[in-house]
Structure 1
Amino acid sequence: DKGATWVVSLPDGQEVNHLQEQIPVAQIAFHPDGKQLALLGEWETVVLWRWNPTDWIDEACGRLLRGNLTQAEWSTYFPDEPYHATCASSSIQNE
């Protein structure tokens, strides 16, 4: 994909994550904490990605959401999936 960056596990080459960025990427490097990936664009633009999907979930639960999706919200977005908690640290909301 044009503009995509893949993070792969070495030595097995399995895809760990697929990042879509709108800038041509010239260089990449991991932050020393191992949780962020820095993408340096051709126009000297730096983008930091949390590359681990677990970090994305933690960020969404801690900052973006008020906790778990309600059963009504779940039914709207995931109608064919059985309801379950979306945020491990929150209680399940009935409505």
Structure 2
Amino acid sequence: MRQDKNDHTNYSEVAQLRQQIESEYRAACEGLHGLAMRARHDFIQARMQRVEEYYQELSSIVGPEAAITTVIKINDAFAGTQRKQEPQP
């Protein structure tokens, strides 16, 4: 029974970390492409540093390969969204 509780706790932690990583990517993308397109470099760098910290936490729960796969999927989702919004030449 204890294993089930740990699995649920791990799932909740993973879900929370995914959400935090998505929030950091969203903030960085808005800094690059949103209304404040001239976001300062340190703002974006701070967001990416937080992604790294969340990746490390996630890695300790699910392992480094699963963690990097998750981060890449989130990054690709935001990158794809930004490409669709950019004007075509």
- Give the TM-score category using the shorter length: under 0.3
The structure with the largest strand share of the pair is 1
Structure with more relative contact order (C-alpha pairs < 8 Å, separation 6 or more):
2
Q: Larger Rg: 1 or 2?
A: 1
Normalising by the residue count of structure 2, what TM-score does the alignment of the two structures yield?
0.24
More helix by share: 2
